[in-house]
Amino acid sequence: MRVCRNNWSEPGAAGALLWLAIDDHKGNPKRQHALPPALYSDAIAPFLHFDMPLPNQLYAIGGRNQQQGPLDTVESFDTWHGRWVTCPNMSMCRAGCGAAVLPDGCIMVTGGYDENGIVKGLLASCEIFNPWTQTWNSAVAPLRHARWGHGCTSLRGLVYAVGGCSLRPGAPPRESFMETLKSCEVYDPAEDMWLKGADLQMARAGSRVVTISESLLAAVGGCDDVFVRAEMLPTVEIFDAVAGRWSLLEEPLSMPRTTAAVAVIEERLILVVGGAPSLSTSEVYTVSDSPNGVSPLNVETTSTAASPALHSPAVHDDASATDAARISDIAEGRMGCQAATLKLPAPGSRFPMCSRTSVVIVGGENGEEDWEGNQAHVRQFSSSLVYDTESGTWRRDIEFPPMLMPRTAMALCVGHGQIRGHSHVHRSSFRGGG
């Protein structure tokens, strides 16, 4: 049961709204245009009211810390105040896990590995966080196939776990029996059940999976054989929920990438940043328009690196492709990072006035990739980068606060979150620029 607390952001806010509504109702000669009464109750009041979690909150879940190893900790970026806050811990430590938002607004975390490592600590379990009650529920159906390093996202009310690494069925827990997966699973929250999904065209671990339309997913990059060749992939696959199959796109990324930060800018624009081996390059992968929707063979790419010849170029009247080609590299290479699309204040504005669509790249590390966590020559990040989707540039006008703890191999998602300390709304670590 969701409890209403009837707290307001500022003392007297409710009364001020009431007087404004009365003033409009009576008619004020100093105000030429009265606001519709419904605007106060349906738009302004819910914006100020805190009887339920608010949307547009960013979660960094689990992952691996250089000193502590796999983590059970969860942080949320509160876009009302512009700061990171701690959330209740998960029931267990999870690195290399995935996360997705369910239709009811709860957050599901899937698989990963715990403090026992990538073989003996391999996890099939899942758990769900309820932002209304601030509790975790681990009484959730486990994955059919334990996995870590998988992609995870939601589409049409279902959760997809895509690829990753696991033990061969029936094999003892030894690294020699680990494999990179083509297999995918689909979770139906109405039935609390994981079902077998369509297989990828290529085995992938460290691939990032994003929703690019109402019926399409994209699996970007990854590694095809973590425990043998460990070959990083430049390829992208599209899953069509209507057709029920994955299609390998003909046009590759500008370079092979695994564990990169990947987010959707617009329905057909995918931002790809960094990835192993500690890359600092950025690119935008553009899924071109097609008369029949998105065609697996009608794709173009633009990036800061030299792009390959286009298989089937499309003519764009807008500046999206041009802007994408001007994306600068990030200052320092990152792998194991994650990205999410979030509303943040526009230049010159402050929290909580979040109206500007941005991509936030969170965490990761710089050094040699080591799934077992040998961190002798690795530096982990607590800092975040912000890409402005409107200007197509990295935002320099803000100081996005660091996470409370450096981490890599975590899950990242945007959902509802409980706002705390609402009386300090103007204390922001976000610096408006100009």
pLDDT tens-place string over residues 311-324:
233 333 344 443 44
Q: Residue 161: name the closest of 183, 136, 139, 140 by CA.
A: 183
Residue 346 CB coordination number (10 Å): 18
More confident residue, 81 or 153: 153
pLDDT in tens, 220-248: 999 998 888 779 999 999 999 999 999 99
**Could you give phi then psi for residue 61, rounded to 5 degrees?**
-120, 125
pLDDT tier for residue 40 given thresholds of 50, 70 and 90: low
Q: What is the band of 129 on the pLDDT scale with cuts at 50, 70, 90?
A: very high
Question: Over the chain, what is the mean pLDDT?
Answer: 83
- What pLDDT sits at residue 20? 72
pLDDT of 306 > 80? The answer is no
Q: Per-residue pLDDT for 208 more than 80?
A: yes
- The pLDDT assigned to 381 comes to 97
pLDDT at 230: 78
Say if residue 142 is preceded by a cis peptide, omega within 30 of 0: no
User: In Å, what is the CA distance from 406 to each residue of 33, 289, 303, 383?
Assistant: 51, 39, 28, 8
Instruction: Report percent pLDDT > 90 for the chain.
Output: 66
Task: Kindly give, in sequence order, each residue whose CB lies less than 8 Å from that of residue 346, ignoring residues fewer than 6 positions away.
Answer: 353, 355, 356
Residue 265 has pLDDT above 90, yes or no: yes
Give me the domains of the chain, ranges plus CATH numbers.
14-27+35-48 (no CATH), 54-424 (2.120.10.80)
Per the structure block, which two tokens stand in for 360?
């936030």
Confidence of residue 331 (pLDDT cuts 50, 70, 90): very high
Model pTM score? 0.82
Between 242 and 398, whose confidence is greater?
Answer: 242
Whether residue 368 has pLDDT greater than 60: yes
Residue 224: CB atoms within 10 A of its CB come to 23
Comparison of pLDDT for 49 and 174, the residue scoring more: 174
The larger pLDDT score, comparing residue 343 to residue 426, is at 343
Compute the distance between CA of residue 350 and CA of residue 294 in angstroms, rounded to an integer. 38
Q: How far apart are CA 156 and CA 429, in angstroms?
A: 36
Average pLDDT over residues 341-346: 95
- The more confidently predicted of residues 36 and 207 is 207
Please report which residue ranges of 221-360 form alpha helices under DSSP H.
320-325
pLDDT at residue 22 in the model: 74
Q: What is the pLDDT of residues 266-278, one digit of tens each?
A: 888 999 999 999 9
SS3 percent helix, strand, coil of the chain, rounded to 5, is 10, 35, 55
* pLDDT at site 41: 61
Give the whole-angstrom CA distance, residue 140 versus residue 144: 12
Give the per-residue pLDDT at 37: 67
Q: With a cut of 70, say whether residue 132 has pLDDT above it.
A: yes
Q: How far apart are CA 38 and CA 32, in angstroms?
A: 18
411 has pLDDT over 60: yes
Report, as an integer, the average pLDDT of 354-375: 80
What's the rounded mean pLDDT across residues 393-420? Answer: 93
Res 296 pLDDT > 60: no
Query: What six digits make up the tokens of 332?
Result: 């320092």
Please give the pLDDT value at position 289: 52
For residue 86, name the pLDDT band (cuts at 50, 70, 90).
Answer: very high
User: Greater confidence, 38 or 167?
Assistant: 167
Q: Give the residue-averaged pLDDT of 75-90.
A: 95
Q: What is the pLDDT, as a whole number, of residue 185? A: 98
Whether the CB-CB separation of 157 and 186 falls below 8 Å is answered with: no
Closest to 225 (Cα-Cα) out of 198, 205, 245? 205
Q: Give residue 278's pLDDT.
A: 94
Give 309's pLDDT tier (boundaries 50, 70, 90).
Answer: very low
pLDDT at 304 over 70: no
